[in-house]
Amino acid sequence: MSITIALSKGRIFEETLPLLAAAGIEPLESPDSSRKLIIDTNHAEIRLIIVRATDVPTYVQYGAADIGVAGHDVLLEHGGAGLYQPVDLRIAQCRLMVATRVGFDYEAAVRQGARLRVATKYTESARQHFAKKGVHVDLIKLYGSMELAPLVGLADAIVDLVSTGSTLKANQLVAVEHVLDVSSRLVVNQAALKLKRKQLQPLLDQIASAISC
């Protein structure tokens, strides 16, 4: 039986490589130099597929991939249906934060009960966060370049991923509130785990034992 692993290009692919290597899996091509979306590995029965980060849970949910690597941010938006999430891989670490323009008094706006306009790709996580705080918000769904929204008057605040903060700084924005810590997790199709356990379990175990603490 063959195994298909869904990964996204960029940091998740790069940071997953050492974990796959620990399980003896090496891709025969790099998604950066190849335009192929299906990448063979040194094991004839194991292949990688390259999909958008937000699509990884969907491929695994429907069994088009047996396992995948997806950010906690992406998994919260997806909802996790049909997915077994055995391990936090501790890669692609960042934080989901509320950010505003420098000079916007977020605390005062919240205290005064102002209705805030918040632009984000992460509407589900944002909705839960502000509901828990009892803050009224109008959420505006965006698909990228969230930093622009407060600069052109689309929103008072954004909810976005932050690691070093340099993108915020470059756009005269500042993080004002922590929403959640994010890292990437291994996701496994629940039916595949039953059907292919003999092949999948050792792979999951090897990946898990290679995670850095």
Where does this chain bind ligand ADP (CB under 6 A)? 8, 10-12, 52-53, 71, 73-74, 92-94, 161, 163, 182, 184
Minimum Å distance from CB 167 to ligand ADP?
8
Rounded to a whole number of angstroms, the CA Rg of the chain reads 19
Query: Nearest residue to ligand ADP, using CB?
Result: 71
Strands 3-7 and 67-71: parallel
**Smallest distance from ligand ADP to CB 162, Å:** 7
Strands (E), the chain: 3-7, 38-40, 46-50, 67-71, 83-84, 88-101, 116-120, 137-141, 157-162, 173-189
Nearer of residues 65 and 74 to ligand ADP, judged by Cβ? 74
Nearer to ligand ADP, 72 or 196 (CB): 72
Closest to 49 (Cα-Cα) out of 73, 76, 16: 16
Closer by beta carbon to ligand ADP, 43 or else 90? 90
> To the nearest whole angstrom, how small is the minimum distance from the Cβ of residue 160 to ligand ADP?
9
Q: Cβ of residue 54: shortest distance to ligand ADP, in angstroms?
A: 7
Closest C-alpha among 110, 119, 160 to residue 139: 119
Nearer to ligand ADP by Cβ, of 46 and 142: the residue is: 142
Q: Which of 76, 85, 99 is nearest to 181 (CA)?
A: 76
Report the alpha-carbon distance of residue 87 to residue 101 in Å, rounded: 36
Shortest approach of ligand ADP to residue 184 CB, angstroms?
6
- In the complex with ligand ADP, which residue's Cβ is closer, 183 or 190? 183
CA 179 to CA 196: how far, in whole Å?
37
Spatial separation of the C-alpha atoms in residues 23 and 25, rounded to whole Å: 6
Q: 145 or 209, CB closer to ligand ADP? A: 145
Structure tokens at 176: 């004002």
Smallest gap from Cβ 196 to ligand ADP, in A, equals 26
Please, are residues 20 and 89 in contact by the beta-carbon 8 Å criterion?
no
